[in-house]
A and B are shown apart, each in its own frame.
Chain A
Amino acid sequence: MKQVQAVIIGGGSAGLSAAVTLKKQGISDVLVIEKDEEPGGILEQCIHNGFGLQTFKEQLSGPAYAERFIKMAQEQNVKILLNTTVTKLTADRTVEYVNAEEGVVQVQAGAVILAVGCYERPRGGINITGTRPAGIYTAGQAQRYLNIDGYMVGKRVFILGSGDIGLIMARRMTLEGAKVIGVAELMPYSNGLPRNMKQCLEDFNIPLLLSHTVSKVFGKDRLERIEVVAVDENRNPIAGSEQYFDVDTLLLSVGLIPENHLADHAGIVMDPSTKGPAVDDRYMTSAEGIFACGNGLHVHDLVDFVTLQAERAAEGAAAYLKSGKRKGSALHIRNGNQISYCVPSQFYPEDPAEKLTVYFRVRTPLDRGTLVIRSGEQIIRQVKKQKLLPSVMEEAVLTAKQMAVLTDDITIEITEEG
């Protein structure tokens, strides 16, 4: 079997950043495997601006952001296999891929970085009743049809879910001449970034119906009409609140899920709160030498964080290739009050990094609260926070000094002032 120092599965922004970092760390033999015809991943269809404010201090489009990393990868002589799909991964780091030129090939990797991105929750995942006509798309699918293939999917559009892709598509389809009737969101708050709420809905007078959902669709061949209902605080439909809209298109923006299939089949431990692999502070999964980053680890709303975390994962992989197993044993990082998930979920106090950044999301919007990092009963850090939103990823930071003395698992929580 062919040996490769590091294999990166997925050539989106996470995979490309990881590849460039590995090279910079002195790992010469890096192979990126990408399913599509071009590297760049989901960025290639995100032609709107808003990428790279942190990384490059300027506003780039998705493809332009990707282009910078593709260039860097080229400069570093990263080998990228395109039109190639990884079909299997095992815990001992054999990677099986298939493409038209080589057929089915297995390689033995010293380290593997999973950078496989995410997929969109489909209609079946949310149980909208009624018929099964054409005209119902996930928002990202409609985005691909429009921005890559060059086709509009409909004329009168309704959007379910206030995820960012849905919001961006509301604006995009309006600009291209479609009528966007409205956006319904099940929760009493939006799931999109505040800037997208403003720039994509408010600026175009597109109504947002909070605590509403699409309950039923009608139409035999093509979508003709939808039923929208209000929901109560337990998210159950309120009888008598039905409204009907005649639309030919329904876009679903109801959640992104890490593409965890390869990892799952390799027996890698999943974190039920992110639905991606559980990782430690070097982004290593439960399988030795297999790392994860990007949307395949947890879903990001800003590419800058994807890049940042991919770099950490690549540094982790490089360290692993150079010095193998780490010192000591891991402690867990647990989701406390109001926290929906934390990444990473483990760290090594006897082998601490300079600082540990834990990314987390809150469950519900909070005007103000205190971020508390606890180890057992002991409070390690407290920080006052304002305007916490589930759609915005937050950070909690621990220094090496703070970590070194810990012997207990830590919990991250928000205490609400009351």
Chain B
Amino acid sequence: MYDVVIIGAGITGAMLCRKLSGYQLRIAVIEKENDTAEGATMANSAVIHTGYDPEDGTLKAELNVKGAQQYEAICRDLHCLYKTVGAYIAACGAEEEAQLDVLAARADARGIPYRRLDRAQALGQEPNLSDGVTAVLDFYTTAVVYPWEVANACLECACENGAELFLNAPCQAIQRDGDCYVIETPAGSFRTRYVVNAAGVHADAIHAMVAEPSWHVTPRRGEYYVLDKDTQPIRHIIFPVPSKEKGKGVLAIPTVYGNTLIGPNSDFVDDPDDNGTSEDGLNYVRANISKTLKNIPLNRSIRNFAGVRPTTTCPDFIVEEVAGAPHFIDAVSIESPGLASAPAVADKIIEILSASLELIPDASAVMTRKAPVVPAELSQAERNELIRSNPAYGKIICRCEQISEGEIVDCIRRTCGARTVKGVKKRVRPGMGRCQGGFCEPRVVEILARELGISPLEVVYDGQDSRILERENRV
């Protein structure tokens, strides 16, 4: 019997799981995919918004501000990258400048630091701003993270504290049985006192298993270009002025590793799992980035991707116990800024749980994560010492990102470690560079097979059926 089962291993479920793992509780996370962070958490703008954007009086505004404040410390504890790059909101003309005043007033009220820059000042920092940009609000504490790294690190930390993660375990049915719930999955059934629904775009289906939802998910897709890191056309995140209809608009984002993201658009899609890219979507991104920026080298794109926002018919986050289903808690409608808000969403859920569940801190719980070994961050002497103790750190597998065999092996062997080629790529980056794995994928397949004790034929790219090799063919 579990105390809490969390459905969904995205950032919402992961942050909650880590925080809960500090208490004496038996916790499980069940995830339908073959790795952690495969939903919206895998494909978004990665921005830790400081919280000036959501409307006054919303849960979004409250949790965004509180969540963002915790991020830097969480990333430090978990040894995740957190890079304060600053966000420019670029206004074009008087009308948009008036909008900046609205954002500034909100920021003042919420204690969020910013400064105003005139065109010349902004251009001094960002020479590729478009000719139309007349003024900028600089939210200089805004940061970027690797969202899936944070989610996975949270789960690693939680599992080290005894939480259990079940992959390939889609929740198919939930029955109420006396005081508890029984969750059915192909990986077994889970009996639990509390359920948290953090299933992203599928949250309405999960909710419907216990009660009729008064809202439903209206999935909205956002598509991106990823630019080669040798290009670096911007240093700050560049936003257009937000609008009611178009949300945050098309942005340019410097990632933690120096690539640049350009996107997203915002298109309703019928299928919540439809994270494919489209010609129209990418054309929209291409056309609209020119509002705020020029000289963006989209011809140096190394990849496109898309993510689906778990938007619902409710304009705000929904974090509450479901009416008519006691001890079943929704963490749904977590669209942007859901990444930034996740720590505070978790706190809010814990507050709800604490009304009926006794939360006793677990003195043995460790809320930090063992630092991964990153040879590139060491001094030459330290690196040589490391290679002497384990020569695999001296064998470079990925030549674009200069990742050693030792780092790949580590990311497979860790708790919540990589099981797939994409899992390795998410954790230590071979295949994220300009050749996109052309050279190193065969080597990664070989290492995964060896470490997992399986045949290379069984190694998958991502999902359980995404096999890479068809059959042996020895000459």
Give A contacts to B, CB under 8 Å: 35, 83, 85, 87, 98-104, 119-120, 122-125, 127, 129-135, 138, 140-141, 144-146, 148-155, 176, 215-216, 218, 220-222, 237, 248-249, 259, 261, 264
Contacts and interface: CB of A to CB of B under 8 A. Distances in A.
A272 to B, nearest CB: 11
28 contacts: A35-B399, A83-B395, A99-B394, A100-B392, A100-B394, A100-B395, A104-B383, A120-B438, A122-B434, A122-B437, A122-B438, A123-B436, A124-B301, A124-B303, A127-B301, A127-B304, A132-B275, A145-B469, A149-B446, A152-B470, A152-B472, A153-B468, A215-B279, A220-B273, A221-B462, A221-B463, A222-B467, A261-B434
Contact of B456 (A103, A149, A237, A261): A149
Nearest to B405: A100
Interface in B389-403: 391-392, 394-396, 399-400, 402
B230 A129 contact: no
A133 B473 contact: no
A151 B446 contact: no
B302 interface: yes
Contact of B434 (A119, A150, A154): A119
Name which of A100, A140, A222, A261 has the most chain B CB atoms within 10 A of its CB. A100
Contacts of A104: 380, 383-384, 387, 394
Contacts of A123: 303, 436
Name which of B305, B388, B435, B464 has the most chain A CB atoms within 10 A of its CB. B435
Given A124-B304, A127-B304, A221-B462, A151 B473 contact: yes
A122 to B, nearest CB: 4
A149 B282 contact: no
B402 A122 contact: no
Given A35-B399, A87-B402, A125-B302, A101 B468 contact: no
Interface in B362-398: 380, 383-384, 387-388, 391-392, 394-396
Nearest to B469: A151
A359 to B, nearest CB: 25
B470 A153 contact: yes
B395 A131 contact: no
Given A87-B402, A222-B465, A222-B466, A151 B395 contact: no
A99 B435 CA distance: 22
Contact of B383 (A99, A103, A152, A215): A103
B383 to A, nearest CB: 5
A144 B277 contact: no
A170 to B, nearest CB: 16
A216 B392 CA distance: 39
List the 7 shortest-distance A-B pairs measured between CB atoms, nearest first: A124-B303, A100-B391, A103-B384, A122-B436, A134-B461, A100-B394, A221-B465
Contacts of A215: 279
A120 B281 CA distance: 26
B335 interface: no
Interface residues of B, number: 56
A153 B461 CA distance: 12
B275 to A, nearest CB: 7
B439 A132 contact: no
Given A122-B438, A149-B456, A222-B467, A129 B304 contact: yes
B303 A122 contact: yes
A120 B440 CA distance: 12
Nearest to A129: B277
B45 to A, nearest CB: 18
Interface string B261-280: 00000000000010111110
Contacts of B437: 122, 141
A100 B465 CA distance: 35
B53 interface: no
Contacts of B388: 103
B442 to A, nearest CB: 5
B115 interface: no
Given A129-B279, A132-B305, A153-B470, A220 B475 contact: no
Contacts of A248: 470
Contacts of B438: 119-120, 122, 138, 140-141
A138 B442 CA distance: 12
B383 A151 contact: no
B376 to A, nearest CB: 9
A66 B379 CA distance: 38
Contacts of A148: 442
B473 A152 contact: yes
Given A153-B468, A221-B465, A264-B230, 15 more contacts: A35-B396, A98-B383, A98-B387, A100-B391, A100-B394, A101-B391, A103-B387, A122-B437, A123-B436, A124-B302, A127-B282, A130-B277, A135-B466, A141-B438, A216-B276
A172 to B, nearest CB: 10
A131 B276 CA distance: 4
